Structure 1
Amino acid sequence: MTDHQERDTPWRLCWPTAQGRVTRARLKTHPEDFRVDETLDRDTLMGHAGEHVCLYLEKTGDNTEYVARQLARIAGCRPLDIGFCGLKDRHAVTRQWFSLHRPGREGEDPDLVAAVASHWPVLAQGRAVRKLRRGEHAGNRFVIVLRDIEGDRAAIEEALNTLGRRGAPNYFGPQRFGHQGSNLTRALALDPDALKRRRGSSRNRRDKTHSERVMYFSAARAWLFNEVLAARVEAGHWDRCLEGEPAPPERAPTGPLWGDGGTLAEGPQGELERAVVARHPGFERLFSATRMAPERRPLVVRPEALAWRWREDAALEVEFRLRPGQYATTLLSDIFELEDMSLGRHNE
C-alpha cells in the first residue's frame, strides 16, 4: 500500500472481539450512568507538606483539561503548574485529583479551597512534594449503567463471568484517534525532524503546535498497537505469551508501542509485529526517524472486583476497577455493542 492509498483508505477503528458481542446496549444516556472514581496512593504521594496543593474534585459536564485551565485561573498560576493523573470524560460524573503548584502559600489554602468549591465539590485535600503526573494513580473504579439492553440475561451473565475470569483485548479506545481517524491522517503528514527539534525546550513544550504533533504521534503508536493486538485476537493467542515475548515480570503477554528500532520482541512474536507494521510504511518511516525507544503494553485488560446487578428499570449496573491506561468502554465492548448516547451532545 502506498502512502497516498493509506491516506485515502478509511482507518480501521473497530477491532475484533475475543468473545463476540452477545447483545446491544446504550451507554451514557445520562451523565450519572457513567461514574469514575480515581484511586491515588495518598500515603506515597501526599501528606501535609509540600509545594503542591492536591484537591480531589467531583465534576459533571467538564473534561479534565478544561478543569485544569480553570484551576490555573482561580489559583493565579500557569496551566503548566496544574497536574493530574489521567483524562476523564466530560459526559460522566468523575472524581479525580489535581495538583496546583503553590509554594510557600500554605496559609492561603482555605481560601483557595473555598474558591474552587464554588465551582466543583472538593471531596478531599492535601499537599504533595511534587506535581501529579500522568498514569501514577493506582487505578479507577467504574460504576456504569447500561440501558435498553437486548438479548438473553443468562447469556449476558455468562459472558460477564467469562470477562471477569479471562479479561478482554486491551485496545486503545477509538476516541484517541480523532473523528474518523483524523489524528492518524495528520500523523502521516508529520515532519519527524520538526518533532525532534522541539525536544529539550521547556518553552517549546508549551507550544500548542508541538502538543498537537505529540498527540498525533501518540495516536499513530496506539493504532499500530491495536492492529497488532487485532492480528493476535484473530489468531486466537492474544491472551498468552508467544516465543520471543520480552518477558515482563508477571509473564503476561504484551504488544508493541512502536519506536525507533521497532519492537523489543524477537522470534515469532517479533516477526508477527514487524509484519503488521510493515503494512503501513508511512508510520514505519515516521517512527524510524525519531529517537523514541520502543516500549510494551499489556495485551489483556482484566477487571478487578467485577460485579453487576439488574435494576428495576431493566437496566444493568456494572461495577469494576481498572489499572491506569485501561478503558472501561474497551472492556465492555468485548460483549456489548455499545451506542454512546453522549456523542450527540459533544457540540452542546
Structure 2
Amino acid sequence: MTENSLSLTTDNWQYLHGKPRLSGSLKNKTEDFCVEEVLGFDLSNSGEHSFLWIKKTDTNTAFVGELLAKFAKVPLRNIGYAGRKDKYAVTYQWFSIYHANKPIPNWHEFSAQNVEIIKVSKHDKKLKTGALKSNKFKITINLSTSIDTDWLTSRIENIKRLGVPNYFGQQRFGEMRTSDGRLVLNGNLLLGEKFIQGEIIKNRNKRSMMISALRSWLFNQVVSKRIENEKIHITLCGDVMQLTGSKSYFVCHREDMPTMIDRLNKRDIQITAPMWGSGKQLSTEDAHAFENSVIEDYQMLCDKLSDIGLKQERRALLLYPEAFEYDVKDDILTLRFELPAGAFATSVIREIVNT
C-alpha cells in the first residue's frame, strides 16, 4: 500500500481446505439463515433490568434497540444486547432494558413489524457486548452443483478436526441489498479508505462500523498469510496463545514450544493473530517478524487504528464448530452448528460451498 493508494479487497483470502467443489446460493429467503443466542450465565429473575428474548426477522439489532427504548421511555443508552445479529435472517436474541426509577411497561402491549417478544425476565445487570457463550446456527443453502456425498462428508470431518479460518465475515465489511435486489459489498471498507486518506466521518454509527471493518480486515490478512505460508497449525516462537474460552493470553517462548503441540491438539489453547491498536505488539521473535512482514504494507492503516485509541488485542486464528450436523435433500443442503460469540457462520460456510 503506497502513501496515496489503497486496495482493501476481500476476495483474495486463502481457504484452509481448498476451494469447495460445491456452489449454491445463500439467503434465498429469510428463513434460510437462523441464529439463536446462548447466554453464558443464568438470569437472576430479579433486579432493575428487563431481559427480553426476542425473535426478529429482516430487522437489524440496533433498530430493535431503538424501538424498545422508545416504548419503555428510556434513553437508548439503557438498552443492552450482546451483539449485532444479521439483518437478513431470523434471529433469536436477548435485549436488556434498564428502567431505573421509571415504571416497567407492559411488554404484552409492545408491537412492531417483524419483531416478537417471546419471553420476559429480569436481571440485576445490563447485558453487555460479548456476554454470550455461543450462537447456534441453522443454514439452508440451495445448491447449483451436483452433490458428491463422499467429498462433502470428508470436507465436514476435516473441518471438525482442523477447524476453519476464524475470518471476520462479509457482514463486517459491508453488505447491503438495494431496492432492485442487487447485493453491494464492502461499503464499510470503501468508507474506511476515505477515512485513512483524511476524510472526516461524522456519523457515529458509520464511523464505528468503518473502524471495525478496517481492524477486522487487517486481522483477516494475517490469518490468510499464515495459511498461504503453511503456518496456520504450526506454533512460531513468540506466538501469542489464548486459553480457550477466555480472554487470557501468554507468549510461547522457545523453551515452551515442545509442550504446545499437545495443548493445541487438545484445544486447551489457540494461536492468535493481532487485532491492531496502540501499544506494544504482543507477539515476539519469529511470530513478531511474521506478523510485521504482513502488516508493513499497511502502515497507514495501522497508524490510523493506533491514533483513534484502539489497544492491541488478539483473536484466535482458527474456529472449531461444535455440534456440527448436516443433511441433504434434493438440491438443498442444511447445516447446523454452534460457534463461540464473535465468530461468523459465513466463515464455516465458505469452506463448504461457494455462494
* TM-score, normalised by the number of residues in structure 1: 0.84
Indicate the structure with greater strand content.
2
Q: Deviations over 1:65-104 (max 9, x none)?
A: 1111111121112222211111111221110001112134
Per the alignment, do residues 246 and 41 of structure 1 end up closer, same or farther by CA in structure 2, a change over 3 Å counting?
A: closer
Q: 1:35, CA displacement in angstroms?
A: 1.1
Partner in structure 1 of residue 133 of structure 2: 138
Q: Deviations over 1:314-348 (max 9, x none)?
A: 3111111000110001111012101xxxxxxxxxx
Return the alpha-carbon distance in structure 2 between the equivalents of residues 75 and 119 of structure 1: 18
Q: Deviations over 1:254-290 (max 9, x none)?
A: 1000111363111111111111111012112213434
Indicate the structure with greater helix content.
1
Superposition RMSD on alpha carbons, in Å?
Answer: 2.5
Return the alpha-carbon distance in structure 2 between the equivalents of residues 274 and 116 of structure 1: 52
Equivalent AA in structure 2 for residue 337 of structure 1: N
Partner in structure 1 of residue 164 of structure 2: 168
Match of 2:213, SS state, is: helix
Taking the TM superposition and a 5 Å limit, the aligned residue runs for 1:16-35 are: 16-20=14-18, 21-35=20-34
Taking the TM superposition and a 5 Å limit, the aligned residue runs for 1:182-331 are: 182-190=187-195, 209-249=203-243, 250-261=268-279, 263-311=281-329, 313-331=330-348
Match of 1:130, SS state, is: coil
Per the alignment, do residues 59 and 100 of structure 1 end up closer, same or farther by CA in structure 2, a change over 3 Å counting?
A: same
Match of 1:253, SS state, is: strand
Equivalent AA in structure 2 for residue 140 of structure 1: N
Return the alpha-carbon distance in structure 2 between the equivalents of residues 139 and 154 of structure 1: 30
Q: 1:14, CA displacement in angstroms?
A: 4.3
Is the CA contact (8 Å cut-off) linking 1:11 and 1:180 kept in structure 2?
Answer: no
Return the alpha-carbon distance in structure 1 between the equivalents of residues 157 and 54 of structure 2: 33
Match of 1:279, SS state, is: helix
Q: 1:27, CA displacement in angstroms?
A: 0.9
Equivalent AA in structure 2 for residue 213 of structure 1: R
Is the CA contact (8 Å cut-off) linking 1:13 and 1:181 kept in structure 2?
Answer: no
Note the residue ranges of structure 2 that are not aligned, 5 or more in a row. Answer: 175-183, 244-267
Return the alpha-carbon distance in structure 1 between the equivalents of residues 44 and 306 of structure 2: 43
When structure 1 is superposed on structure 2, of 177-186 and 292-301 the one drifting more is 177-186
Equivalent AA in structure 1 for residue 164 of structure 2: A
Return the alpha-carbon distance in structure 1 between the equivalents of residues 25 and 199 of structure 2: 43
Return the alpha-carbon distance in structure 2 between the equivalents of residues 328 and 112 of structure 1: 32
Is the CA contact (8 Å cut-off) linking 1:34 and 1:93 kept in structure 2?
Answer: yes
Per the alignment, do residues 104 and 285 of structure 1 end up closer, same or farther by CA in structure 2, a change over 3 Å counting?
A: closer
Is the CA contact (8 Å cut-off) linking 2:58 and 2:114 kept in structure 1?
Answer: no
Return the alpha-carbon distance in structure 2 between the equivalents of residues 92 and 144 of structure 1: 10
Is the CA contact (8 Å cut-off) linking 2:279 and 2:311 kept in structure 1?
Answer: yes
Match of 1:132, SS state, is: coil
Return the alpha-carbon distance in structure 2 between the equivalents of residues 240 and 329 of structure 1: 24
Per the alignment, do residues 135 and 194 of structure 1 end up closer, same or farther by CA in structure 2, a change over 3 Å counting?
A: farther
Match of 1:47, SS state, is: coil
The number of aligned residues is 320
Return the alpha-carbon distance in structure 2 between the equivalents of residues 13 and 82 of structure 1: 36
Return the alpha-carbon distance in structure 2 between the equivalents of residues 304 and 327 of structure 1: 13
Partner in structure 2 of residue 37 of structure 1: 36
When structure 1 is superposed on structure 2, of 323-332 and 147-156 the one drifting more is 147-156
Equivalent AA in structure 1 for residue 285 of structure 2: G
Return the alpha-carbon distance in structure 2 between the equivalents of residues 94 and 215 of structure 1: 20
Is the CA contact (8 Å cut-off) linking 1:308 and 1:316 kept in structure 2?
Answer: yes
Return the alpha-carbon distance in structure 2 between the equivalents of residues 51 and 285 of structure 1: 42
Per the alignment, do residues 10 and 84 of structure 1 end up closer, same or farther by CA in structure 2, a change over 3 Å counting?
A: closer
Return the alpha-carbon distance in structure 1 between the equivalents of residues 115 and 308 of structure 2: 41
Partner in structure 2 of residue 3 of structure 1: 3
Per the alignment, do residues 211 and 92 of structure 1 end up closer, same or farther by CA in structure 2, a change over 3 Å counting?
A: closer
Return the alpha-carbon distance in structure 2 between the equivalents of residues 22 and 93 of structure 1: 28
Per the alignment, do residues 303 and 126 of structure 1 end up closer, same or farther by CA in structure 2, a change over 3 Å counting?
A: same
Return the alpha-carbon distance in structure 1 between the equivalents of residues 234 and 324 of structure 2: 22
Note the residue ranges of structure 1 that are not aligned, 5 or more in a row. Answer: 196-206, 339-348
Among all aligned residue pairs of Structure 1 and Structure 2, give the percentage whose two residues are the same amino acid. Answer: 30
